[in-house]
Amino acid sequence: MYVEGGSDSNPGRRALSEGLHQFLEAGLRAAGLPSVSLNVRARGRRDAAYSGFLGCLSDTPDVFAMLLVDAERPVRPGVSARQHLQEDPDNWDCSLADDKQLHLMVQTMEAWLVADPEALALFYGPAFNAKALSGRPNVEEIPKPDLETSLERAIGPTGKGPYRKLDHGSALLGRIDPDKVRKRAGHCELLFATLTEVLTTDP
């Protein structure tokens, strides 16, 4: 799985890869799937994740590769990840990939984090202001700027701010409850449904 984020530093990419790996493994275990070997590769810049994904598709066609990137903007109803990524401003050519291989965090990774305010409160401590977070059942409807602002306000009283995507985000991914995220983020549910199908289908 090729993922955007983690900055251009090896420690940053490694931290994000580990956090996302923990999140995915926890979700698969909760679904009753046996432990599997997931190779999560955070590549830093968005276009670097895309390039790495395309390289894997062409160089190792026998490997089931996936791309997971932020949507960066609202995803219109009925629009697939493929369509979204082929539109401006990305204009990516996804013709080599199957729809099952293309996935989005909508609108950004922080939507997954705020889907589990209890985990955030445990991470930041009792002064964490969960009321500052959006109460929308569907976290994918929260605009990206609002996600970032609400996190700043929620973390402010704890004295552990400001929110740092590289440090806080990577650590929180390994702590949030995948089931809570799946219930509040349709594209996360789609990701797990795809993983479940791939892992339970005979080659």
For residue 111, name the pLDDT band (cuts at 50, 70, 90): very high
Residue 170's alpha-carbon distances to 12, 16, 63, 145, in angstroms, are: 8, 5, 26, 19
Is residue 202 predicted with pLDDT exceeding 70?
no
Integer Cα distance of 66 and 64 in angstroms: 7
**Mean pLDDT, rounded, of the chain:** 93
Which residues are CB-neighbours of 118 under 8 A, at least 6 positions away?
Answer: 130, 177
Higher local confidence (pLDDT), 30 or 68: 68
For residue 35, name the pLDDT band (cuts at 50, 70, 90): low
Average pLDDT over residues 13-30: 94
Q: What angle do CA 112, 6, 103 make, to 5 degrees?
A: 50
The model's pLDDT over 51-91, given as tens digits with 9 standing for 90+, comes to 999 999 999 989 999 999 999 999 999 999 999 999 999 99
pLDDT at residue 162, rounded to an integer: 83
pLDDT at residue 23, rounded to an integer: 96
pLDDT at residue 153, rounded to an integer: 94
For residue 190, name the pLDDT band (cuts at 50, 70, 90): very high
Which residues are CB-neighbours of 187 under 8 A, at least 6 positions away?
Answer: 71, 75, 81, 103, 104, 105, 106, 140
The model's pLDDT over 125-184, given as tens digits with 9 standing for 90+, comes to 999 999 999 999 999 999 999 998 999 999 999 988 788 887 898 999 999 999 999 999
pLDDT at residue 144, rounded to an integer: 92
For residue 203, name the pLDDT band (cuts at 50, 70, 90): low
The radius of gyration computed from the CA coordinates of the chain, to the nearest angstrom, equals 17
- At residue 177, the 3 state secondary structure works out as coil
Of 134, 79, 142, 135, which is closest to residue 106 (Cα–Cα)?
142
For residue 121, name the pLDDT band (cuts at 50, 70, 90): very high
Integer Cα distance of 39 and 119 in angstroms: 25
